[in-house]
Amino acid sequence: MSTLSIQNLAVVVGEQQILKGVDLEISSGQVHAVMGPNGAGKSTLSNVIMGKPGYQITSGSIELDGRDLSSLPTWERAQAGLFLAMQYPTEVPGVSVRETLELALRSRGADHIDVASRLDEEADQIGLPKELLERALNVDFSGGEKKRNETAQLAVLTPEIAVLDELDSGLDIDALRACAERIEAMTNDGLGVLCITHYHRLLDHLIADYVHILVDGQIVESGGPELAQELEDDGYSRFVDADEETAGVSVAIGGRSETKNAAVSDSEDPFADPLA
């Protein structure tokens, strides 16, 4: 049983305060969805949890089972049991996923895992062409292949808690279903998930136990899956203060109208890219 505990987390990027005191607690087997309009700080939250350079924590803590991660380098957070599935997985020329995971597992002392055969199994299960396992990471991968590849890595690395940053962006419905179902199965084996998303469609396949609404760097409401349904129906209007004059809100209003458009196009064309 593991718990990722985020308390009163405030983060500055450059001069700008992006997160303004976020509290979240994710335990093994749970799926937490953090939803919010564009500019709310969703990607900042996922990046800062993983320790990406460029984000400054001004207050609060990120703890995994009581161990403070906030001053650790990224790789130590990963070895401690965190995983980040990236919104836009980076292309890494000349380095294959197999080599990466072998080095990652060997350096955390998990030599007993046969990476090549585990990756083969996961690639089969998730529908990732096996030749991609030997090719340069994410180079010339389609959107769906990138997210399938992230999911296969997640399954081989078996972290305690996975952060999914917009797993549903840039992939078609088949890929989305394959990834979501694989992750759902992992939660049954104890994986805790923090699923960051703008849209509802991922949650049709990966059922959230808890839904949190992030607006302008703060969690403004938490609830059960019904909250995600409300967003699907009404957008973020209820959570955005139209009179507030900060830059973050004007972005949020843009996000709301986008949400409605996307909801319509989603039902018409399940393959439509919501970011298009």
Partner 1 sequence: MAPTITGPFGKPEQVNLIGSSAFLGRRQEAEKSAAQRGMPSFEEELWRYTPIGDLDPSKYRLDAPGGSIADVGLTKGIENEAAAIIEVADGQIVSTVINDEAIQVHSEGTEMENAVGSVIPIGTDFFTDCNLSYCTAPLVIEIARNSVVASPILVRQHTTTSEIVWFPRLVVQLGENSEATVVEHQASPFINALVCPVNEIKVAQAARLKYLTVQEHGPALWQISTQVAEVQRDAHVALSQVALGGSYARARIDTQMAGKGSSGEISAIYFGRENAQHDFRTFQKHEAPHTNSNLLFKGVVDDDSRAIYTGLIRIEAEAGDVNAFQTNRTLKLSESAWAESVPNLEIENNDVKCSHASAVGPIDEEQKFYLESRGVPTDIAEALVVKGFFADVLEGLPSRPIAQAIDGRIDQLVALDKERL
Positions that interact with partner 1 (CB under 8 A): 50, 52-53, 73-75, 78-79, 83-84, 86, 89-95, 99-101, 103-108, 136-137, 153, 157
Q: Is 10 exposed, middle or buried (0-12, 13-18, 19+ CB in 10 A)?
A: middle
67/106 with CB nearer partner 1 = 106
110/173 with CB nearer partner 1 = 110
Is residue 115 within 8 Å of residue 83, measured between CB atoms? no
Q: How far is the CB of 133 from partner 1 (least distance, A)?
A: 14
Q: How far is the CB of 89 from partner 1 (least distance, A)?
A: 7
39/89 with CB nearer partner 1 = 89
Q: How far is the CB of 155 from partner 1 (least distance, A)?
A: 13
CA distance 110 to 107: 7
Return the closest-CA partner of residue 30 out of 171, 222, 173.
Answer: 222
42/200 with CB nearer partner 1 = 42
156/227 with CB nearer partner 1 = 156
Is residue 179 within 8 Å of residue 202, measured between CB atoms? no
86/240 with CB nearer partner 1 = 86
Q: How far is the CB of 162 from partner 1 (least distance, A)?
A: 11
Q: How far is the CB of 139 from partner 1 (least distance, A)?
A: 9
Report long-range pairs for 59-63 (Cβ below 8 Å, ≥24 apart): 59/8, 59/9, 59/10, 59/21, 60/6, 60/7, 60/8, 60/9, 60/10, 60/21, 60/22, 61/5, 61/6, 61/7, 61/8, 61/9, 62/4, 62/5, 62/6, 62/9, 63/4, 63/5, 63/6, 63/7
Q: How far is the CB of 87 from partner 1 (least distance, A)?
A: 12
